[in-house]
Chains A and B, each alone.
Chain A
Amino acid sequence: MKRRAQLAGLLALPMLWLVGIYIFSLVMLLVTAFWTTDPFTSKVKPGFTLANFEQLFINPAYSAIALRTLGIALMVTVLSILISVPLGIFMAKIAKPWLRAVLAVAITLPLWAGYLVKILAMRVTFTEEGFFNSVFAPLGITGPGFSQTTVVLTLTYLWLPYMAVPVYTAIRQLPPNLFDASADLGAGAWRTIRSVVLPLIKPAIIAGSVFTFSLSLGDYIVAKFVGGSTQMIGSVIASNINLNPPIAAAFAVVPIAFVVIYLLSVQRTGALERM
């Protein structure tokens, strides 16, 4: 009995946080999706209508934006993996300790600066007369300007540490004799990475991808500052939150659905248990 009371006492605060604040506010938001907005005053009126969800299907802009956002989030995730795996192998297995320390600092450095500061830094970099264009102009290369490409690059820059750190940690934990054994059996570097390293660090990659994917899915500030006319799910929610909160709430269900589908599909691979 006493143990139970102790356990309850211990869990009270996190449960209050999770249920009371996190889940309750989400539910409140989702309930709004069934409400209506007064067309004149844009005041929200409680009620029940499916019109907001209907709008998501009737207006082709919504599905186009949802798919674009999904594509951007997937691209950011793939790009993060492509950078993190070779980097992790180099850091964990090849680099000298001092270089390893320098790289570890370099990877986590972006986490030290403010989120908005980093986005504005990218804005300055990719602006027409900015750093990128002035450096690469002699080579005849012009930057992507403010476009969807820049959005992907910026989001990758923002969320890379969330992928690189778990991947690096996982590779460091691989026993060196696995590499030796692989080499003894005649496998080259590529074969070793494909058949030994990747299967073993898969849980780390999936853990990282949950972050890069869901963080990219919900972002809108990046699209606003470096996206030119790129609209993401978040942009639409942000612009409607004052004008038509119910439709914003209805649209907010879409990224939630994406993340749930993503989590369910990676859970089937059994990766989440080993996270």
Chain B
Amino acid sequence: MKGKITVAAASAAIAALALTGCAGGSDDAPASSGGLTIDVPDVPMIEELGDYEGSVDIIAWSGFVEPAWADAFTEETGCTVNRRVAGTSDEMVQLMRTGDYDLVSASGDASLRLIAGGDVQPLNLDLIPNFGDDIVEGMKGQIYDTLNGKSYGIPIGRGANILQYNSDVVTEEPTSWDIAWEADSPYAGKIIAYDAPIYIADAAVYLMAHQPELGIKNPYALDEEQLAAAIDLLKQQNEIVSEYWADPAAQITSFVGGNTVAGTSWEVLRKLTEDEKFKSTLPEEGSTGWSDAWMLSAESDSPNCAYAWMDYASSPEVNGAIAMNFGMAPANAAFCETSDEAKAHCDYYNATDEEYFEKVWFWTTPIEQCVDGRTDVKCTNFQQWTDAWLTVKG
């Protein structure tokens, strides 16, 4: 127990360093993640497990809970798995608040809201033997699932929001996001953008590289001036956008139908086009990304089945199966050693390449406390992002 917590704390500090480029306050106890302490409702942690309740209700991203591995779990434990697929982080948060679900596969922009809202409970890592040393460094004790020294999430996998392009039209591999942001882009009118307020962070990542005078150190810690600059950039992009996507099917048909030739995407969506002419790259500016974790509802009525699921889904085989199905880097690095195919998958998605993921800013809920460590200024919160996002499309 102690050992694991220390590892988590240490990597929280490393993560905070990598995330913020600021050493202030990240060396003390796990009580702070990068100098950040947030008042969190006190939800008790489960000390020991009891009998299985017979079923577990899970909110998940499409492809995370599939019969291929859920059926074996039911056979093993007697817990029937009821899946509800959610399309966005915001939907997941809203669904979790109904209290009807036990587990959620939350991304970083949802998890902080859930923790601060008292909707999820701290997890007892001792009860999840599969959460061990094999979990990749970059996914342990991250700010968005470990708060005030308590762990709230069991990592599933991670991925970057990549730049996808149609190589018939974009013949040279782009090295920069500029073709998707600049008004004089040769592909103006054929750019696709993501349709959610969190996409503001993508603009911020671009500004970090191209307008250093703004002083953005973390795309999720924007003061009002920086937010305004990001919104201006998004408005500029709005002029050259063909579509905004929130629905994966719409994104795929937009590329395949020729309305879009470049724009933000997930590796899995590129694969689903089933066409080799669609290629992807992680541009030099880096990108935003997501890191997902299982989280347990504070009002869960089947905590035992839920713990069993978290443990089951963290095993190398199942975690790998989820990662391969969704098209992301698995959290459990032990999977990479299980077969040649697994190895190839891990290499393709840079599963253990922390250097690659250093360029990726994982979705985090923006809050008033600047997560980059600045204390002389108030950062903009997610509500402000939501209001500002509205003005982008006009």
Residues of chain A at the chain B interface (Cβ within 8 Å): 37-43, 55, 59-62, 64-65, 123-124, 127-130, 145-146, 224-225, 228-231, 236, 239-244, 247
Binary contact track B336-380/A, C-beta < 8 Å → 1, others 0: 000000000000000000000000000001011000000000000
- Do A129 and B258 contact each other (CB < 8 Å), given the known contacts A40-B368, A146-B243, A242-B90? yes
Binary contact track B235-257/A, C-beta < 8 Å → 1, others 0: 00010011110110010011001
Q: How far is the CA of A87 from the CA of B384 in the complex (A)?
A: 50
Q: Which of B113, B238, B242, B393 has the most CB of A within 10 A?
A: B393
B68-114 at interface with A (beta carbon < 8 Å) = 88, 90-91, 93-94, 97, 113
Q: How far is the CA of A237 from the CA of B380 in the complex (A)?
A: 22
Q: How far is the CA of A127 from the CA of B393 in the complex (A)?
A: 21
Q: List 14 A-B contacts (CB under 8 A).
A: A39-B383, A41-B113, A42-B113, A43-B117, A60-B391, A127-B254, A127-B258, A129-B257, A129-B258, A145-B242, A146-B242, A239-B196, A242-B90, A242-B91
B148 in contact (CB, < 8 A):
no
Q: How far is the CA of A244 from the CA of B116 in the complex (A)?
A: 17
Inter-chain contacts of A241 with B (CB < 8 A): 94
Q: How far is the CA of A159 from the CA of B243 in the complex (A)?
A: 24
- Do A229 and B244 contact each other (CB < 8 Å), given the known contacts A61-B390, A61-B394? yes
B116 and A40 within 8 A (CB): yes
Q: Which of B116, B241, B247 has the most CB of A within 10 A?
A: B116
Q: How far is the CA of A105 from the CA of B93 in the complex (A)?
A: 45
A259 CB, nearest partner CB in chain B, Å: 23
Inter-chain contacts of A224 with B (CB < 8 A): 246-247, 250
B242 and A59 within 8 A (CB): no
Binary contact track B167-198/A, C-beta < 8 Å → 1, others 0: 00000000000000000000000000001110
Q: How far is the CA of A64 from the CA of B116 in the complex (A)?
A: 35
**Given known contacts A59-B391, A145-B259, what 9 new A-B pairs fall within 8 Å (CB)?**
A40-B113, A40-B367, A127-B253, A128-B257, A146-B259, A225-B250, A228-B241, A229-B393, A239-B195
Contact pick for B90, options A61, A124, A129, A243, CB 8 Å: A243
Inter-chain contacts of B213 with A (CB < 8 A): none
B273 in contact (CB, < 8 A):
no
B363 CB, nearest partner CB in chain A, Å: 14
Q: How far is the CA of A231 from the CA of B394 in the complex (A)?
A: 7
Q: How far is the CA of A39 from the CA of B381 in the complex (A)?
A: 6
- Do A42 and B93 contact each other (CB < 8 Å), given the known contacts A128-B258, A130-B257? yes
A39 and B384 within 8 A (CB): yes
B393 and A244 within 8 A (CB): no
A35 CB, nearest partner CB in chain B, Å: 14
B52 in contact (CB, < 8 A):
no
Q: Which 8 pairs, one residue from A and one from B, show the smallest C-beta to C-beta distance?
A: A127-B257, A128-B258, A41-B117, A242-B90, A39-B383, A129-B258, A39-B381, A128-B259
Q: How far is the CA of A172 from the CA of B21 in the complex (A)?
A: 77
B193-216 at interface with A (beta carbon < 8 Å) = 195-197
B383 and A229 within 8 A (CB): no
Inter-chain contacts of B393 with A (CB < 8 A): 61, 229-231
Inter-chain contacts of B391 with A (CB < 8 A): 59-61
A228 and B242 within 8 A (CB): yes
Q: How far is the CA of A240 from the CA of B113 in the complex (A)?
A: 16
Contact pick for B116, options A41, A123, A229, CB 8 Å: A41
A29 CB, nearest partner CB in chain B, Å: 15
Inter-chain contacts of B365 with A (CB < 8 A): 40
B99 CB, nearest partner CB in chain A, Å: 13
B386 in contact (CB, < 8 A):
yes
Residue of A at shortest CB range from B97? A43
Inter-chain contacts of A244 with B (CB < 8 A): 383, 386-387
B382 in contact (CB, < 8 A):
yes
Inter-chain contacts of A129 with B (CB < 8 A): 257-258
Q: How far is the CA of A60 from the CA of B197 in the complex (A)?
A: 18
Residue of B at shortest CB range from A147? B242
Inter-chain contacts of A236 with B (CB < 8 A): 390
Q: How far is the CA of A62 from the CA of B387 in the complex (A)?
A: 10
Residue of B at shortest CB range from A242? B90
Q: Which of A60, A61, A127, A229 has the most CB of B within 10 A?
A: A229
Inter-chain contacts of B93 with A (CB < 8 A): 42, 242
- Do A39 and B368 contact each other (CB < 8 Å), given the known contacts A55-B387, A240-B386, A242-B90? yes
Q: How far is the CA of A146 from the CA of B253 in the complex (A)?
A: 12
B200 CB, nearest partner CB in chain A, Å: 13
B182 CB, nearest partner CB in chain A, Å: 17
Q: How far is the CA of A40 from the CA of B367 in the complex (A)?
A: 6
B129 CB, nearest partner CB in chain A, Å: 32
